[in-house]
């Protein structure tokens, strides 16, 4: 039976709708520093950012470590976010989406990630699925699936990668054979975020010949005959998302669930990846921002040789390098998002280079922050390790950073 005093102390932060849990969660005078993520934004964009950051501070940040430790998927908190419009950020409003642009979306994901990278990354995957159905689906498909997805009454997962087809996604081998009123799908997908917990799966399967042009896109519901899931993967990070293989054994999918036309699947996937890369890069930005904020607090407080670490030139130079990297990453991500909004002819390159730069640099920032925390950075009591582990995978998925170099160099060398 907790004492009234403890109850009162705990009630105050909750009642104000905010939780001030530690020094590193308090807002520094960031608005007077170059780390201010609202620099260069319009008033409207600042409002969206403010909402997302508040939500992250109150709903994600206090729980981030617990969710990571317990591998807990916070469906209830996700739905709370969906009530605010996070379930379909760049999906059209008639089906419950928020109808925002990709730059606004990037700003929101960056802010949310400061609270929990893993959960925000899942939101971005869910958003990519809703966008695909919104952009390429028929009116019937939109009305049938999107209202429940934008509200997160149902969760969505995106299935492209297979055990034998990662970077070589165009070589995927899951087949979809038309038999009367159904397509019958056979094959398996690997590393599916939300696999097993999601209700709706956007699955790429081969309807035609080899290579990208034979791939089509399907909406598959949990509960369809022949759909099953592998074991829950044990991962280094992204622990607030369940990751499983998705297995199709004579899985029957109604013909009405084909998205777009046969053979259009790969092109849908590639368009989706441009935005997905910006989203993941944005999540990396949030991780780096939070890690850098934590490092700044720590070096002012931690003393060795009778002075705070912040007095040593090495510390100062390291922080300067970290801030510079963060700023360059942020600018690239935001420009790529703007190019996507404007449909620039080289948008794929912008997105690839931004993703490459941001995910690499921001991981380093998280790593540097851990180093600045010294031994404490290695303890799970401190948050830095979670940002580090969560952002590590951003260098791999949505296209490895090696593939990003392929995309960029191709655009440079093509006549």
Residues tagged active-site = 398
Pair type for strands 200-206 and 156-159 = parallel
Nearby residues of 264 by Cβ (< 8 Å), 6 or more positions away: 136, 216, 217
Cβ-based nearer residue to another protein, 14 or 320: 14
Among 35, 78, 95, 100, binds another protein (CB under 8 A): 100
Distance, in Å, from the CA atom of 160 to the CA atom of 104, rounded to the nearest integer, reads 26
**Least distance (Å) between residue 17 CB and another protein:** 5
Pairwise CA distance, residues 285 & 185, whole Å: 38
Is the separation of the CB atoms in 231 and 146 below 8 Å?
Answer: no
Q: How far is CA 388 from the centre of its chain?
A: 15
Which of 24, 91, 98, 385 contacts another protein by CB under 8 A? Answer: 98
Looking up tokens 């993703």 gives: 355
The nearer residue to another protein, 30 or 310, going by C-beta atoms, is 30
Q: Which is nearer to another protein, 26 or 409 (CB)?
A: 26
Beta-bridge partners for 188? 247
Residues present in the chain in total: 415
Q: In whole angstroms, give the CA distance from residue 275 to residue 345.
A: 14
- Euclidean distance between CA atoms 386 and 118, whole angstroms: 9
By the rule CB under 8 A, 231 interacts with another protein: no
* The pair of three-digit structure tokens given for residue 8, joined into one six-digit string: 């009162």
| Least distance to another protein, CB of residue 265, Å | 30
Question: Nearest distance from residue 50's CB to another protein, in Å?
Answer: 8
| Nearest approach, Cβ of residue 11 and another protein (Å) | 8
Least distance from another protein to the Cβ atom of residue 189, Å: 31
Q: Return the range that interacts with another protein (CB under 8 A); candidates 9-17, 128-136, 217-225, 380-388.
A: 9-17
Can you tell me which of 7, 10, 17, 402 binds another protein, judged by CB under 8 A? Answer: 17
Nearer to another protein, 130 or 197 (CB): 130
Separation between Cα atoms, residue 207 and residue 264, nearest integer Å:
10
Nearer to another protein among residue 118 and residue 150 (C-beta): 150
- Report, in Å, the least distance between residue 327 CB and another protein: 18
- Which span sits near another protein by CB under 8 A: 77-85, 132-140, 207-215, 279-287? 77-85
The most distant pair of C-alpha atoms in the chain lies apart, rounded to whole Å, by 79
**CA angle centred on 270, ends 267 and 276, rounded to 5°:** 145
Q: Encoding tokens for residue 172?
A: 């995927």
Displacement of CA 346 from its chain's centroid (Å):
23
How far apart (Å, rounded) are the C-alpha atoms in residues 69 and 64? Answer: 9
Which among 81-89, 176-184, 315-323, 330-338 is the span making contact with another protein, rule CB under 8 A?
Answer: 81-89
Q: Is 83 in the site for another protein (CB under 8 A)?
A: yes
Distance (Å, whole) CA 128 – CA 122:
10
Position 86 contacts another protein (CB under 8 A):
yes
Size of the site for another protein (CB under 8 A): 32
CB of 391 to another protein, least distance (A): 25
**289 vs 359 by CB, closer to another protein:** 289
β-partners of residue 308 are: 303
| Residue 16 CB neighbours (<10 A) | 10
Residue whose CB is less far from another protein, 15 or 231: 15
Only one of the segments 14-22, 264-272, 278-286, 331-339 lies at the binding site for another protein (rule: CB under 8 A); that segment is 14-22
Pattern 19-58, another protein, x by CB under 8 A = -x----xxxxxxxx----------xx--xx--x--xx---
Where do contacts with another protein occur on this chain (CB under 8 A)?
Answer: 11-12, 14-18, 20, 25-32, 43-44, 47-48, 51, 54-55, 83-86, 89, 93, 98-100
């Amino acid at each position: 039976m907790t004492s009234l005093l403890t109850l009162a102390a705990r009630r105050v932060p909750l009642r104000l709708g905010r939780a001030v849990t530690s020094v590193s969660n308090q807002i520094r005078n960031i608005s007077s520093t170059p780390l201010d993520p609202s620099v260069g934004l319009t008033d409207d964009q600042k409002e969206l950012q403010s909402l997302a950051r508040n939500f992250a501070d109150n709903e994600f940040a206090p729980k981030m470590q617990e969710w990571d430790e317990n591998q807990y998927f916070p469906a209830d908190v996700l739905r709370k976010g969906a009530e605010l419009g996070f379930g379909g950020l760049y999906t059209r409003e008639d089906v419950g989406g928020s109808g925002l642009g990709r730059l606004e979306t990037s700003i929101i994901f960056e802010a949310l990630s400061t609270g929990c990278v893993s959960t925000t990354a899942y939101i971005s995957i869910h958003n990519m699925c809703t966008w695909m159905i919104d952009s390429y689906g028929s009116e019937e498909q939109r009305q049938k699936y999107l209202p429940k997805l934008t509200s997160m009454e149902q969760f969505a997962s995106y299935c492209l990668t297979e055990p034998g087809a990662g970077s070589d996604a165009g070589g995927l081998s899951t087949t979809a054979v038309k038999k009367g009123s159904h397509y019958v799908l056979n094959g398996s997908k690997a590393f599916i975020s939300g696999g097993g917990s999601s209700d709706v799966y956007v699955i790429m399967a081969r309807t035609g010949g080899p290579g990208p042009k034979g791939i089509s896109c399907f909406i598959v519901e949990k509960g369809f005959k022949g759909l099953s899931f592998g074991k829950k993967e044990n991962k280094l990070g992204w622990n607030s998302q369940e990751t499983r293989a998705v297995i199709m054994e004579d899985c029957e999918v109604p013909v009405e669930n084909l998205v777009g036309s046969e053979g259009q699947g790969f092109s849908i996937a590639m368009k989706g990846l441009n935005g997905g890369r910006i989203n993941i890069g944005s999540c990396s930005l949030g991780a780096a921002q939070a890690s850098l904020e934590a490092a700044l607090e720590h070096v002012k407080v931690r003393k060795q040789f009778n002075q705070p670490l912040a007095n040593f030139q090495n510390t100062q130079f390291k922080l300067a390098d970290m801030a510079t990297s963060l700023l360059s990453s942020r600018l690239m991500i935001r420009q790529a998002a703007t190019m996507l909004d404007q449909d620039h002819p080289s948008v794929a390159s912008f997105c690839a280079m931004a993703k490459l730069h941001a995910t690499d640099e921001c991981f380093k920032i998280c790593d540097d922050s851990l180093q600045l925390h010294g031994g404490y950075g290695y303890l799970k009591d401190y948050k830095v390790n979670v940002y580090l582990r969560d952002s590590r995978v951003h260098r791999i998925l949505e296209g490895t950073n090696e593939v990003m170099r392929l995309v960029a160099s191709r655009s440079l060398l093509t006549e």
